Chain A
Amino acid sequence: MRPIRIIPAISLILAFFAALIAFKATHWFWEDTAMPSTSLNTMAYRYHFVMIAHNTEETYWKQVHTGALSVARNADSALEYFSSRFLNLKELERYLEMAILSSVDGILISIPNQPELTALITEAFTKEIPIVSLSNSLETHPRLSYVGISAQNLGYQSGMALKKAAVRKIRAAVLINSNFSTESYQNYLHGFHRAIGSDSNIRLEMVVNSKGESISAEEQTQQILKHHPHIQAIICTDPNDTLGVAKVVVDQNRVSQTLIIGCGLTEEIANYIKREVIWGVLAEDPNELGAQGINTLIRLKTKNAEQEIYNLPLFWVDKSNVNQIYSKFSYTARRKNP
């Protein structure tokens, strides 16, 4: 190449690379990165659903939301998610009221059984807004659909697990979440008693209403173990209760003396199971809970059904399968939210 050609050639190359660097370095600047890539698609939605949850456990509800969002996307539906970390009734009421006043297409709820909230649910039904409960805490309503675990099944499975563990005489205490509706409470105990039957090795010493909070459960467990040191098994109906009981048992160095049968699977609970602090838990797939919630709402909208009840399968998780089940739940979450 002639020398004179070198100057324009080098200049062009430099200009090209400068432009390339400038573009590479600033392309994020010129485009609106605040806009999620999926937002435009979701704006053209068929249904607008709202999910309102009392967020008792961060990871668990994140997975529930992931499952629900995945199905909603596939059904060209938008899902709005409101959650309250602590039990703030006013906040939950605000979310529910706004959803009803906005005339959304459907609402997924996991809220405590409080009169203010149930009144709003009734208002929603008057406005033909379908509501699906994701927990067993609400009183039965002729039009309230339900997706979740059956309280009776939970009680029965818990009793069967205790029966299996009780090779000798054992005295047990049950912590039932106070958010359970009266019907769910009774169903749970009915199932439990049906499982243990007339097994003379098992004696249900006490039934305690818990608040579904870890700190509260710790306090209650301390009281139980202090005043009833002969209690050798504690059965829980809530993941926070399970964690609270496990912490106290570890703190009081009673791991080998106290059998814990929990409910729900989180990373922390999985670790306790691996360390044999918790003997085992009964858990449903949180992704499946969210997914079936949305599916139920869509069915209610499309088939004009009044009510649907969908009981999720319960998985028994102990040291032998904790990794497998936990990976399965986590994998499902990843797959649905790539």
Chain B
Amino acid sequence: MKQIGHRVPVTIRSKLLYSFLIMIGIFTLVSLFSYYSEQHMLNRFNVLLSNNLKLKEFRTNIDNVVTSLEQYLISRNFNMLRQYYQYSQEVDADYPNLKTIEPSLDNYLLLENIRNMTRSFLKQTEIAVQAKRARDSSGYHKAFLEVVRYGTNINWAIDRLITQQLEESSRQYLYISKRLATIQRLGLLLIIGALIFSVITTLWVSFRLTTPLQRLAKAAQIISKGNFSTEPLQVTTEDEIGVVTRAFNEMTQNISKLFAEIKLQSDLAQRLQEQELQNLSMKNVLREAELQALQSQINPHFLFNMLNAGVQLAIIECADQTAEYIDKVSNLLRYNLRQLDKPVSLAEEFNHLQTYFFILKSRYGEERFTFETELDPNIASFQIPLLTLQPIVENALIHGIENLESGGKIQVQAFLEAGQVIIRVHDNGRGIPPDTLQQIKEGQSKTGHTTGLGLQNVKERLRIFFGESDLMWIDSKPNDGTTIELRLPTYGRYEREIDDACTGCR
């Protein structure tokens, strides 16, 4: 299936990079997580302790204010007054910024109480100082008692707040300790998980990298031994190995294709060579036939002129039979002297056979032999080599019916059967002796009688003409006649003619 869209190939480098980055990322996360957990807890403790210390310092400053004020009221010492102002200023600066790290409702309200009381406390101290300056002893005494009362309550409230915060801190310490233990367990789990993941990833990546390479190496080994019929390797990745695998598959296919083409060309060359050999052989046969024909010709024109003169003489003498005979002989000779390499139609061959039979009847008499020919008109134009049938008929005459006193019969049939032109020559003679038949089949009977062409010659010419062997079949039994059958193919250069001729036969 064609893939839609462009897929960005993931290279081996990317794979390794991803894997390592992820592993590093996980370990970094775990480390950061542990680091910040501990840092957070430490900060929390720091805040807890520092806040309590601040409250304690504030409490001390309250005490210092009371002490320095008392000292001032008793001694009216300017240094004491300065100390008082110093501490009261510190208290005044500190109290709005007092904080509770556990801002529960109770703690927050307690802190508000401390702030409110401190505000009143500072007012009372100021009243006491002013009364002292005004030398109002009852006034500063009363104010100082109020200052002490406020101071006591502020200290009590601070102590209560510190206690509550310490209680809360202790509770939180235990709580945080449990949390930390949980976080440590979680961190341990994360580390173990990260380790397992790293191992799995490493194995996975190495497996993904080496398996295709192993398959590639195995396939290369098989192909190096000349076996190109292996199945294409499956491309499972889009990385460099995938590219190499795909290229390897294409290379294997191309080599296999090239081998097939070379083999085809080799077969064609071999067939051409065989064809050339066949042509050469046919030329030799033709040359031989021509030579024999030349040997048998003294002077064809002279002979035909003489025979024509004989015909005219017979006509003058009113010897019609003689005239016809001489005319037939003349036709026979003329046909025999035609060029052997030019094919003739079946109709011509059958006409020739009629002439031949006429001469034979004239020679042997009408009663001794009967000749029958039967040609399918659809195949009358079928082309065959010259003088194909006469040697066969002659063979039937000589080996079959020549020695019969009477009743000899030769049948020649030509018809179309199963896409082949069948020419059957049958005689009812004594049959060919087995040894002679064997010689004929083995191609040892080479000479004919009238034409000088034997059955072997006919067989050879048919093989060259049609390009196929085994076109002639001989069936002979002693005293049961002989049947010679030619089965000629209709394909090749004669096929169209046969088609035209045999329209309606198939």
Contacts and interface: CB of A to CB of B under 8 A. Distances in A.
Contact of B117 (A5, A30, A36, A98): A98
Nearest to B30: A18
B104 A98 contact: no
Contacts of A21: 186
Contact of B105 (A14, A28, A30, A36): A36
B315 interface: no
Interface string B194-211: 000100010011001000
Interface string A287-302: 0000000000000000
Contact of A36 (B104, B197, B238): B104
Interface string B125-158: 0000000000000000000000001100100110
Interface stretch (B106-114, B422-430, B486-494): B106-114
B15 A22 contact: no
Interface residues on B, range: 35 or more
B117 A4 contact: no
A15 B201 CA distance: 14
A182 interface: no
A94 B153 contact: yes
Contacts, number: 108
A320 B335 CA distance: 151
A36 B102 CA distance: 9
A78 interface: yes
B140 to A, nearest CB: 19
A326 B58 CA distance: 49
Contacts of B103: 35, 39, 43
A205 interface: no
Nearest to B33: A22
Nearest to B201: A7
Interface string A96-115: 01110111100000000000
Given A97-B153, A103-B120, A4 B104 contact: no
B205 A7 contact: yes
A8 B18 contact: yes
B282 interface: no
B19 A18 contact: no
Given A35-B103, A78-B105, A26 B37 contact: yes
B237 interface: yes
Contacts of A15: 22, 25-26, 29
Contacts of A39: 103-105, 108
A7 B108 contact: no
A273 B172 CA distance: 43
A43 B190 CA distance: 41
A34 interface: yes
A190 interface: no
Contacts of A94: 153, 156
B193 interface: yes
Nearest to B41: A29
A101 B37 contact: no
Contacts of A35: 102-104
Given A4-B15, A94-B156, A48 B112 contact: yes
A80 interface: yes
A200 interface: no
Interface string B170-196: 001000100100110010001001000
Contact of A22 (B10, B112, B190, B236): B190
B150 A101 contact: yes
A39 B101 CA distance: 13
B275 interface: no
A227 interface: no
Contact of B238 (A4, A26, A81, A102): A4
Contacts of B208: 3-4
A289 B201 CA distance: 69
Nearest to A28: B179
B149 A97 contact: yes
A80 B116 CA distance: 15
Interface in A97-141: 97-99, 101-104
Contacts of A30: 40
A11 interface: yes
Given A30-B40, A48-B109, A7 B153 contact: no
Contacts of A104: 113, 116
Nearest to B102: A34
A271 interface: no
Nearest to B193: A18
A84 interface: no
A215 to B, nearest CB: 29
Interface in A32-52: 34-36, 38-39, 42-43, 48
A102 B22 contact: no
B15, B26, B106 — most chain A CB neighbours (10 Å): B106
A25 interface: yes
A21, A22, A101, A103 — most chain B CB neighbours (10 Å): A101
B168 interface: yes
A226 interface: no
Given A36-B105, A42-B105, A98-B157, A8 B22 contact: yes
A2 interface: yes
Contacts of A102: 112-113, 116-117
A26 B186 contact: yes
B239 A4 contact: yes
A167 to B, nearest CB: 53
Contacts of B150: 101
Nearest to A100: B153
A18 B15 CA distance: 22
Given A8-B18, A80-B106, A101-B150, A34 B168 contact: yes
Nearest to B236: A3
B475 to A, nearest CB: 74
A7 B190 contact: no
Interface in A68-88: 78, 80-81
B149 A18 contact: no
A42 B19 CA distance: 52
Given A4-B238, A94-B153, A101-B153, A38 B201 contact: no
A8 B197 CA distance: 12
A34 B40 contact: no
A256 B179 CA distance: 57
A15 B157 CA distance: 50
Contacts of B37: 26, 29
B115 to A, nearest CB: 9
A28 to B, nearest CB: 7
B237 A4 contact: yes
B45 to A, nearest CB: 13
B109 A80 contact: yes
Interface string B322-352: 0000000000000000000000000000000
26 contacts: A2-B238, A7-B18, A7-B201, A15-B22, A18-B26, A22-B33, A25-B182, A26-B179, A26-B183, A29-B37, A34-B102, A36-B105, A39-B105, A42-B105, A48-B112, A78-B109, A80-B105, A80-B106, A81-B106, A94-B153, A97-B149, A101-B120, A101-B153, A102-B116, A102-B117, A103-B120
Interface of B: 10, 15, 18-19, 22, 25-26, 29, 33, 37, 40, 101-106, 108-110, 112-113, 116-117, 120, 149-150, 153, 156-157, 168, 172, 176, 179, 182-183, 186, 190, 193, 197, 201, 204-205, 208, 236-239
Given A15-B25, A29-B176, A36-B104, 8 more contacts: A2-B238, A18-B193, A29-B37, A34-B101, A35-B103, A39-B104, A98-B113, A101-B153
Nearest 4 Cβ contacts at the A-B interface? A102-B113, A102-B116, A80-B109, A11-B22
